[in-house]
A and B are shown apart, each in its own frame.
Chain A
């Protein structure tokens, strides 16, 4: 490989090359952005605001899942902010469910003092009206994306959480390596050449990750001091990691649902009851020319709409008006057994009375029953 090519390679990929410089910038930028957003998300809690991680996207395009929304309790003297985004409690749906927190916009006020809420991305307003007492706060600050790790933890998307943790750790390592290169370069260059103001430490908010205190050649630090410095740095790194982990875990427990809702309905259903019940049809079967002993009287009855509740079979003497019930039966075939042995010979009349389930009754034509010996 020609010397110029090696030189070119070192310029790009070497310890002092452009790639590490850019990677260091990107990593530092990312870490500070993350820390700044986290601070913005956490600090307002000190003066009583509430933070919540949005779980779903029904408030898109403005509020997306993983955003942290900071809300402020409603001033009791102020009216409910119609048109604004509020966080409110939704009663538990179902015996096993927990009470939910929703983040939706108030889109209208009802005449009865309640309010209509809707997710910006929902086609319809929420079905249940909102009362003032349900509101836990009005949206004030939206911190984008910073709740994503907590959301991943809560929803069990551990692969994403692990990937994010790994990338963040990589960013820390890159910043540290890049910081060390600068420190070594400064030490090599000497204080006069490297820094016109040698007393001033080059500022780096992540200096704790830099291996060497800037401006001091490594050889001047004795072993014990080095060890102390190393332990201190380790403690700081562990502490920062612990705080971040606690923030992630805490944010996983303050989820707010910007729930998607929609509905469809079937309207105009009606059931109208008949103005009168349909009359059953009923006939008593002819028992033949003459009967003796124990005979069976059978009737046919039908009412196709509500069905037959019961059929009674009766008889009376010719010319008489007193009807005697042979039996009342509720199941088809409708038949009764009549013992004629105790009755005098002669011609009798028989009939069947059917009653429908709806309660309508019908009486059959009379049939002659001729009893003989």
Chain B
């Protein structure tokens, strides 16, 4: 075998230039074409290496269908939320789709007196809070910390941006997911109402959707 000739060396050197420029152009053209000129590529069957999903263990059952509640009554329920995200992410709970029915026109709204709070922790399940251990280091509440009327939550904390207690996921455990249990407490508190106002709340119903949303938190780390 001979060493490459001078002519060959030159040819090879020179050919690198147009080839590289052509490839650069091709990559940009092809990528732009695929990403920006195709209207219908929102194809969710394409699950890429980067992915995210959030599930809970409610099996489609509402956490609360409480009938015949009376003032000062309270209750609780746990729900386990699992994140399958391969990215450091942030999960926030919030409340939306408030519904309220009343028997007669009244200036006292049930949703102002039904309070929700939430605590993060581990253990327990949707059916039973047995084994739940609160994580004192984490934030509480669906909106601001602590309990808030469902009306305030629905008005001021009904999206991820204004959501409540943040759960920071690491994105490291993709196969089993990262789990967090939320203990939700409700309380029917009529403090400050006259007896007449309290009585006017009878037979009223209030409903709401409890949402957990996850966003990848890819702020550059300082």
Contact = CB atoms under 8 A, between A and B. Distances in A.
Nearest to B14: A203
A16 interface: yes
B16 A28 contact: yes
Interface in B53-67: 53-56, 58, 61-67
Interface string A65-98: 1010100000000000011110000111110011
A204 interface: yes
A261 B210 CA distance: 17
Contacts of A118: 42
A323 interface: no
A18 B206 contact: no
A348 interface: no
Nearest to A261: B215
A110 interface: no
Nearest to A26: B16
Interface string A221-263: 0000000000000000000000000000000100101011111
Interface string B41-53: 1111011111111
A260 B205 contact: no
B25 A265 contact: no
A102 B66 CA distance: 41
A63 B56 CA distance: 29
B9 interface: yes
A306 B70 contact: yes
B40 to A, nearest CB: 7
B13 A33 contact: no
B42 A107 contact: yes
Contacts of A307: 72
Contacts of A64: 50
Most buried by B among A40, A94, A264: A264
A235 to B, nearest CB: 24
Contacts of A140: 32, 36
Interface string A163-197: 00000000000000011011001100100001000
A28 B207 contact: no
Contacts of A259: 215-216, 218
B153 interface: no
A328 interface: no
Contacts of B19: 29
B6 A182 contact: yes
Interface string A31-66: 111001100100000000000000111111111110
Contacts of A358: 70-72, 190, 198
B188 A273 contact: yes
A257 B81 CA distance: 24
A62 B41 CA distance: 9
Contacts of B8: 21
Contacts of A121: 44, 46-48, 50-51
A115 interface: no
Contact of B73 (A24, A261, A264, A305): A305
Interface residues of A, number: 106
Interface string A1-42: 000000010111010111001001100111111001100100
B14 A62 contact: no
A156 interface: yes
Nearest to B92: A93
A244 to B, nearest CB: 16
Given A32-B20, A257-B218, A272-B68, A185 B9 contact: yes
Interface class of chain B by DSSP: mixed
Contacts of B216: 56, 58, 257, 259-261
A268 interface: yes
Given A57-B48, A121-B46, A67 B62 contact: no
Contacts of B65: 268-270
Residue from A21, A69, A84, A359 whose CB has the most chain B CB atoms within 10 Å: A359
A189 B63 CA distance: 87
Given A263-B54, A276-B202, A61 B213 contact: no
A348 B216 CA distance: 76
Nearest to A120: B42
A154 B199 CA distance: 59
B92 to A, nearest CB: 8
Contact of B213 (A179, A202, A263, A268): A263
Contact of B48 (A25, A61, A139, A202): A61
A143 interface: yes
Contacts of B73: 305-306
B163 to A, nearest CB: 8
A53 to B, nearest CB: 10
B52 A122 contact: yes
B175 interface: no
Contacts of B203: 272-275
A361 to B, nearest CB: 10
Contacts of B34: 62, 142
Contacts of A147: none
Interface of A: 8, 10-12, 14, 16-18, 21, 24-25, 28-33, 36-37, 40, 55-65, 67, 69, 82-85, 90-94, 97-98, 100, 105, 107, 118, 120-123, 127-128, 138-144, 154-156, 178-179, 181-182, 185-186, 189, 194, 202-205, 252, 255, 257, 259-278, 305-307, 356-359
6 contacts: A11-B3, A84-B36, A262-B52, A262-B54, A275-B68, A278-B70
What 5 pairs across the A-B complex have the smallest Cβ distances?
A57-B50, A83-B39, A60-B48, A36-B24, A268-B62
